[in-house]
Amino acid sequence: MKLFIASDFLLFLFFSWLLLITGCGETPQAKPVVMDQLKPEQARVADLSPAYGDVIIETSIADAVTLNPLLYTDSASGDIIALVFNGLVRRNENLELTGKLAETWEVSSDGKIITFQLRKNVLWHDGEPFTADDVKFTYDTIMDPNTKTPSRNSFSLVQTLEVLDSHTVRAIYKEPFAPALSRWAIGIIPKHLFENEDINTSKHNQKPIGTGPFQFLSWTPDDQIALEAFDRYFDGRPYVDRYIYKIIPDPSMAFLSMLRNEIDIMGLTKDQYNKQANSEAFLSRFNVYVYPSTASYSYIGYNLNKPKFSDRSVRQALTMAIDRQIIVDEILYGYGKILTGPFAPTDWAYDQSIPPFPYDPAAAVKLLEKSGWVDTDGDGYRERNGEKLEIELATNNGNETRKLVVSLVRSFWEKVGIRTIVQEVAWNVLMNMCDSKEFDAIVLGWDLGRDPDHYGIWHSAQIPDEQNKNRNNFISYSNPEADRLWEQGRTTFDQTRRKEIYHKLHAMIHEDQPYTFLYVTESIVAVDKRIHGIKIAPAGIFYNFEKWYVPKELQRY
């Protein structure tokens, strides 16, 4: 489910279908959305009111890795976690922060203290009551250096977290922290289940107990994850009885499953939408929703520990050798836009005035030769000091869009004398490559939080090491001035001043080109027409999934 990541910092890597794509040029006009329409034989149904029952099945190209909200870094895990767990706050349909486990809160005038009043009618899925001790335990676990969490930097400025009573907690910060409130969207875990276990290896990472609208039922690795409605959910029981997250790595097979009524929800590739789904026959059975991805982008990340990528001119040349507009036009069918920096173009932190590096293979060749990479033996490939300029370009298998992207990038790089080897590997293998930094270049994507504090991706303190392998700066980007600006941006509350800081960061990272920033895209999601209650909003369509329903007469299961 693409509710994504229950915290405003975490982002991640791509993915399942939300991570599929992104692009360039002028932002295309949003395509018409096919709203709820009934098949002719359903038009006679009189009662389409909300009803309990039925099963909704969604497909994903990748399986989850863990179902612990403190440990995950992938979107497949995040999809399930978002349904099983709650944070103190969450983003609503308009991407505004609202209460979830916290009913209300107060922020001190100096911005250094947040006092949360917690809901009193919340139960864990095993029937135990949720209390302030669970919030304190979650925070303490995140800050424990033995916990292999990517979330620690989001709470590093918390000086203390105090339990005032069973339903009141107070977070005291060392200094003002602009994204502080949004960080408490992270899923809260149950103290009574984890306090005597190793958080990194606990059985509850595979069989989670949360406070969310759905409770865990079963997990068959590489096949499916099943959830069922939690009858005692404090915000009202979900309408559907069961949700199944079906793992189908091949998008073509997933599409066939949808045609056979085995799948209800699928993120379509741009190719599928244009060639297979955009037909009267398909649209008579499925609604197709097209909407901008609010905070995600795709990129090529370079392992800056490798000497061949240490020269900024080489990285700029790699970008200039790629015609990103062709990628947007031919692979994304125009459903996207080139981006130039570390923020989503819909974000106020994004500097719209920075132009992308142009497609200019002649200029790329000059930069490569200036850096000492020349074809000395006439074989068509460049070398320096006896070493060939060879790049292994990796991405996850099962993602048809990325497969096409790496193939096209390979052809562009080969034209300027760069030997390119494509690697398509399983998602978990790709994640291990990131954690161990055993890669040359990698095609991935970020699904970002709504606050532009991306310290966790770009600050040098977030480079993985032996103690913390799952940090997000796995390309090992290190720039002292950028570090200073990321630190300054997260402690500045005035948005005008923050915007100035992030625009400086945008320009700096654009010039450094530690990534080739590829594109942002539009999401295209097909949903079985028997499912009602879906509304498009700035947050997409999945923000209110627990309110989706199937009228009684249309229920299939």
Q: What percentage of the chain exceeds 90 in pLDDT?
A: 76
Decide if pLDDT at 364 tops 50.
Answer: yes
CA dist 221 and 77 (Å) reads 12
Decide if pLDDT at 31 tops 60.
Answer: no
Tokens of 13: 């890597």
Residue 172's pLDDT band (boundaries 50, 70, 90)? very high
pLDDT of residue 346: 80
Cβ atoms of residues 287 and 35 within 8 Å:
yes
Higher pLDDT, 495 or 321: 321
Cβ atoms of residues 286 and 36 within 8 Å:
no
DSSP 3-state assignment of 25? Answer: coil
Please give the C-alpha separations between residue 132 and each of 91, 161, 167, 193, 550, in angstroms, as whole numbers.
21, 10, 5, 15, 36
Please give the C-alpha separations between residue 193 and each of 133, 190, 207, 208, 284, in angstroms, as whole numbers.
12, 6, 11, 10, 47
Higher pLDDT, 6 or 362: 362
Domain locations in the chain as residue ranges: 296-521
Smallest CA-to-CA distance from 332 within 523, 91, 57, 478 is with: 523
Residue 448's pLDDT band (boundaries 50, 70, 90)? confident
Q: What percentage of the chain exceeds 70 in pLDDT?
A: 92
Phi-psi label, residue 260: left if phi above 0, alpha if psi -120 to 50, beta otherwise = alpha
φ and ψ at 12, to 5 degrees? Answer: -165, 170
pLDDT of residue 2: 39
479 burial via Cβ count (<10 Å: 0-12, 13-18, 19+): middle
| Measured CA angle at 275 (ends 20, 24), to 5 deg | 45
159 burial via Cβ count (<10 Å: 0-12, 13-18, 19+): exposed
Mean pLDDT in residue range 446-472 = 87
CB burial string 64-102: b at 16+ within 10 A, e below: bbbbbbbbbbbbbbbbbbbbbbbbbbbbbeebebebbbb
Mean pLDDT in residue range 242-261 = 95
pLDDT of residue 209: 98
Please, what sign has the CA dihedral across residues 152, 158, 163, 169? negative
Spatial neighbors of 200 by CB under 8 A, at least 6 apart, are 71, 146, 147, 148
Average model confidence (pLDDT) across the chain: 90
Tokens of 493: 């509350």
Angle between helices 361-370 and 312-320 (to 10 degrees): 160
CA dist 211 and 193 (Å) reads 13
pLDDT of residue 54: 98
Residue 493's pLDDT band (boundaries 50, 70, 90)? confident
Beta-ladder partners of 447: 296
E-assigned strand segments in 222-295: 224-229, 242-247, 265-267, 286-292
pLDDT for 35-79, tens place per residue? 344 444 444 545 899 999 999 999 998 899 999 999 998 889 999
pLDDT of residue 553: 94
CA dist 193 and 180 (Å) reads 27
Beta-ladder partners of 445: 298
First to last CA, the chain: 20
| Measured CA angle at 529 (ends 2, 555), to 5 deg | 100
Smallest CA-to-CA distance from 7 within 87, 80, 111 is with: 87
Tokens of 416: 């300027």
CA dist 463 and 469 (Å) reads 8
Tokens of 229: 């409605």
Counting every residue written for the chain, the total comes to 557
Cβ atoms of residues 464 and 470 within 8 Å:
yes
Higher pLDDT, 293 or 410: 410
pLDDT of residue 44: 52
Please, what sign has the CA dihedral across residues 97, 100, 101, 107? positive
Spatial neighbors of 156 by CB under 8 A, at least 6 apart, are none
Pairing, β 265-267 against β 383-384: unpaired
198 burial via Cβ count (<10 Å: 0-12, 13-18, 19+): exposed
DSSP 3-state assignment of 35? Answer: coil
Beta-ladder partners of 59: 246
Amino acid, res. 353: S
Angle between helices 312-320 and 495-512 (to 10 degrees): 90
pLDDT of residue 148: 93
Top-level CATH class of 296-521?
A: alpha beta
Cβ atoms of residues 241 and 53 within 8 Å:
yes
Higher pLDDT, 294 or 371: 371
Smallest CA-to-CA distance from 10 within 470, 351, 437 is with: 470
pLDDT for 208-249, tens place per residue? 999 999 999 999 999 999 999 999 999 999 999 999 999 999
Decide if pLDDT at 85 tops 60.
Answer: yes
Cβ atoms of residues 542 and 549 within 8 Å:
no
pLDDT of residue 46: 58
Mean pLDDT in residue range 127-151 = 96
